[in-house]
């Protein structure tokens, strides 16, 4: 899987050289390139953001810089004349106008174009289902926003060009930028690649996996008694049927208690007869 990441802090992704992800790169399972968005600026200040149209606090990432970058990485011919407005000082304005080029009409895209993914706290939640689907892609391109976000026309434009564009939030809280969110999504996606995990079984029975996802049952290891607390007897019984039933009941109970929303979303056909009695 090829992964391109665009960020104003590409060094954030240096950590991908460590641990399982680093090994996966060594094995050739994933190939990661982190690009600096500022490499696609032309002004002396390398500015990537501007004040929000309509007013309000913070800064918004400019569509012009992003489009030069994304056209390049997607292998697209820019389709429009890029006109820039709003640079504060005259030098910036002149530099930006100098960079605005008359482009040829859009050409056709390469068949293996990447899926374009923007982290966005105001987007739908990224789930295990999304991770599973994206783990089957050949090429992902992540665009990390900073500040108050990115100009809404960026995803709109690339969607209109036929690119598969996704926007995801990783949870109901606010981060300073998309870098951490992309790291989270990348880890969830790439650990599903065949050969990534040492033991492939460890991704089969996990929480949130598959239809009718439940929280996982609790885990214990030896000794059977530790500081006066015993492992549940049934787990020591050697009766696999009973162990499976115990774990399944616990998963159902804990999910009902901690994440009733997952129970509500459960596909009833994912329940077995014994589940219905519990």
Residues that bind ligand 6GU in the complex, under the rule CB under 6 A? 119-121, 169-171, 173-175, 177-178, 181
Provide the minimum distance between the beta carbon of 181 and ligand 6GU in the complex, in angstroms, as a whole number: 3
**Cβ 156 to ligand 6GU, closest distance in Å?**
18
Q: How far apart are CA 130 and CA 61, in angstroms?
A: 26
Q: b/e map of 212-222 (b: 16 or more CB within 10 Å)?
A: ebbbbbeeeee
Q: Which is nearer to ligand 6GU, 114 or 143 (CB)?
A: 143
Task: Tell me which H or E stretch contains 153.
Answer: helix 153-160
Answer whether 13's CB lies under 8 Å from 7's CB.
Answer: yes
At 11 the three-state DSSP class reads: helix
Taking CB atoms, the residue at the shortest distance from ligand 6GU is 119
Question: Which of residues 124 and 210 has its CB atom nearest to ligand 6GU in the complex?
Answer: 124
SS (H, E, C) 235-278: HHCCCHHHHHHHHHHHHHHHHHHHCHHHHHCCCHHHCCHHHHHC
The phi and psi torsions of 254 (rounded to 5 degrees) equal: -65, -40
The smaller minimum CB distance to ligand 6GU, of residues 181 and 251, is found at 181
Q: By C-beta, is 173 or 211 nearer to ligand 6GU?
A: 173
CB of 3 to ligand 6GU, least distance (A): 16
Least Å from the CB of residue 157 to ligand 6GU: 20
Distance CA 142, CA 6 (A): 6
What does the block give as tokens for 276? 């219905």
Q: Contact at 8 Å (CB) between 110 and 75?
A: yes
CB of 217 to ligand 6GU, least distance (A): 28
Q: Looking at beta carbons only, is 187 or 275 nearer to ligand 6GU?
A: 187
CB nearer ligand 6GU, residue 21 or residue 118: 118
Beta carbon of residue 6, minimum distance to ligand 6GU (angstroms, whole number): 14
Q: Which is nearer to ligand 6GU, 7 or 47 (CB)?
A: 7
Whole-number Å distance between alpha carbons of 203 and 94: 54
Where is 183: in which H helix or E strand? helix 178-190
Q: How many residues does the chain have?
A: 278
What are the Cα distances from residue 51, in Å, to 36, 44, 60, 63?
21, 18, 6, 12
What is the smallest separation between the CB atom of 61 and ligand 6GU, expressed in angstroms?
12
């Amino acid at each position: 899987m090829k992964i391109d990441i665009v960020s104003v802090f590409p060094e954030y992704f240096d950590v991908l050289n460590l641990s399982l992800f680093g090994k996966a790169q060594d094995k050739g399972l994933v190939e990661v390139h982190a690009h600096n968005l500022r490499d696609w600026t032309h002004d002396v200040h390398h500015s990537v953001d501007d004040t929000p149209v309509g007013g309000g606090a913070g800064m918004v990432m400019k569509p012009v810089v992003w489009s030069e970058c994304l056209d390049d990485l997607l292998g697209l011919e820019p389709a429009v004349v890029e006109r820039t407005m709003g640079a504060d000082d005259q030098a910036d304005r002149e530099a930006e106008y100098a960079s605005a080029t008359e482009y040829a009409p859009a050409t056709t895209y390469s068949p293996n174009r990447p899926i374009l993914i923007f982290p966005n706290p105001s987007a739908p939640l990224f789930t295990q289902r999304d991770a599973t689907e994206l783990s089957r892609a050949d090429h992902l391109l992540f665009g990390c926003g900073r500040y108050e976000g990115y100009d809404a026309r960026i995803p709109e434009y690339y969607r209109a060009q036929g690119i598969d564009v996704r926007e995801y939030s990783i949870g109901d809280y606010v981060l300073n930028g998309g870098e951490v969110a992309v790291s989270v999504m990348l880890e969830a996606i790439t650990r599903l690649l065949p050969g990534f995990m040492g033991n492939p079984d460890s991704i089969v029975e996990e929480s949130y996996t598959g239809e009718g996802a439940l929280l996982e049952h609790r885990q214990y290891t030896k000794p059977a008694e530790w500081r006066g607390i015993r492992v549940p007897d049934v787990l020591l019984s050697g009766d696999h049927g009973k162990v499976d039933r115990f774990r399944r009941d616990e998963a159902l109970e804990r999910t009902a208690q901690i994440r009733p929303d997952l129970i509500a979303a459960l596909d009833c056909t994912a329940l077995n007869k014994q589940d219905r009695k519990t």
